[in-house]
Amino acid sequence: MADPYPTATKKGVTVDNIRSHIMHNFGDAILTDLTREKFYKETKLLLIGLTESGNMLIHPHEASIQRIREWPEKTRLRSAAAQLLVNQYPCTWRHMINCYGVKMDQLVGVKRDPWQLGYEQPFVEHEGAECCQPFIEKILATGGSDSLSDKALRQWEVWAEPSDLISKLMKHCRTQTHVIKKWKVGREKLLMEYERLKVILRLEGFNLEQMQHEYETILF
């Protein structure tokens, strides 16, 4: 997989050493709290920069399954619970920041749709957990390797029939089983965190069932 940000990779700036780099580059600059710094502490996630508002820009390679599984369990559980919630209620992904303190684009690996991989990022490395292998093997055996490219998957709902292997794979990627396998978390702990997140959303006034019904009835 080609590195889209080789310069940033060479610098080796991570979540855990970003403050020393800031001190080196900006001297006596006042260090404010960086968005999501505590959340990703000890993950050693590679950064490609910071926004003016202090948001950390994380390298796209850090969203691979291999890297996600190296995170501390607490971080994996919180992200996996958010992913499970988005899978069940796609309408909630844009509201997370208002009630959970997490922007979706800051939760590395959490996506509104499983086909969102990033430019030229391989599906097998970023979404294809062990439970996906039977689907992937059948797709490759039928000569459908191109259908797993990021360009093809962006439009899969346009060209794929419900009975196609790609459709079945995309449906599988939204299941609880897939989230558990991909994020390498226990079912019981995941569901506890998932229910906690739902409670927080409801306390903030988000009726998930009502929101989902409204989302599904929008005319596109």
In a domain, 38, yes or no: yes
Q: How far apart are CA 78 and CA 55, in angstroms?
A: 19
SS3 string of the chain? CCCCCHHHHHHCCECCCHHHHHHHHHCCCCCCCCECCCCCCCCCCEEEEECCCCEEEECHHHHCHHHHCCCCHHHHHHHHHHHHHHHHCHHHCCCHHHHCCCCHHHCCCCCCCCCCCCCCCCHHHHCCCHHHHHHHHHHHHCCCHHHHCHHHHHCHHHHCCCCCHHHHHHHHCCCHHHHHHHHCCCHHHHHHHHHHHHHHHHHCCCCHHHHHHHHHCCCC
8 Å CB contact between 60 and 43: no
Within-domain flag for 208: no
Domain assignment of residue 139, yes or no = yes
Q: Is residue 147 domain-resident? A: yes
Residue 172 binned pLDDT confidence (cut-offs 50, 70, 90):
very high
Which distant-in-sequence residues (6+ apart) come within 8 Å of 9 by Cβ? 3, 46, 59
Band of residue 220 on the pLDDT scale cut at 50, 70, 90: very low
Predicted confidence (pLDDT) per residue in 96-146, tens digit: 666 655 555 456 678 878 877 766 677 888 888 999 999 988 888 887 667
The mean pLDDT value for 73-84 works out to 89
- The reported pLDDT for the residue numbered 107 is 65
Does 86 reside within a domain? no
Choose one of 135, 151, 173: the last residue of a domain.
173
pLDDT at 103: 53
Residue 106 lies in a domain: no
Task: Answer yes or no: is 103 within a domain.
Answer: no
Mean pLDDT over 47-58 rounds to 81
Which percentage of the chain shows pLDDT scores above 90?
15
The 3 state secondary structure assigned to 115-143 is: CCCCCCCCHHHHCCCHHHHHHHHHHHHCC
The answer to whether residue 8 sits within a structural domain is yes
Domain extent at residue 12: 1-63
If one counts the domains in the chain, the total is: 2
